[in-house]
Amino acid sequence: MEHLYAPWRDAYMKRLGEGECPFCYIVTHSTQDEETKVLYRAEHCFIVMNLYPYTPGHFMVIPNQHTDKLEELDITVWNEINDLVHKCVKMLKAELHVGGINLGMNLGRAAGAGIAEHVHYHIVPRWERDTNFITTIAKTRVYSVDFDDLYRKIKNLIPQYIK
């Protein structure tokens, strides 16, 4: 696989501090929600844009509790996560007119988790033919919209769906 030079990712990770969980950083730095692209904070979890998205509008619902064991989450936390996912799916279908949505968790590094130490739920909007030849032949993704504009759009839509 070819690798793309992405210096902004290095700066993001260095800002967090050596070995610090990026999701725990977001939990403890609520004054930086705009910078970290937090969309919404609930009692037990938060919604945040994926800074390295699979498709435009890819975001995550993440518990505040640092754990790699889904089964250790209190049922109240799990119910809140699922309630937010349910409302976000409704919002994506109604407002962004997505053709489909991938939902999922990768529990553990062996399952493909990039940040395996802190469980997180991916919500990935999909459209017909949202991938193309460049993904296949160059193992590169093209992000076709302005990330910050889409962040602001989704953030502004959330109050209509999450009350």
**Of the residues 58, 118, 120, 122, which is catalytic?**
120
Helix (H, G, I), strand (E, B) or coil at 116: coil
Q: How would you label 129-152 residue by residue, b for 16+ Cβ within 10 Å and e otherwise?
A: ebeeeeeeeeeebeeeeeeeebbe
> Does residue 138 contact residue 16 with C-beta atoms inside 8 Å?
no
Helix (H, G, I), strand (E, B) or coil at 61: strand
Helix (H, G, I), strand (E, B) or coil at 41: strand
Q: Is 97 a catalytic residue?
A: no
Backbone angles phi, psi at 51, to 5 degrees: -70, -15
> Does residue 48 contact residue 38 with C-beta atoms inside 8 Å?
yes
Active site residues: 120
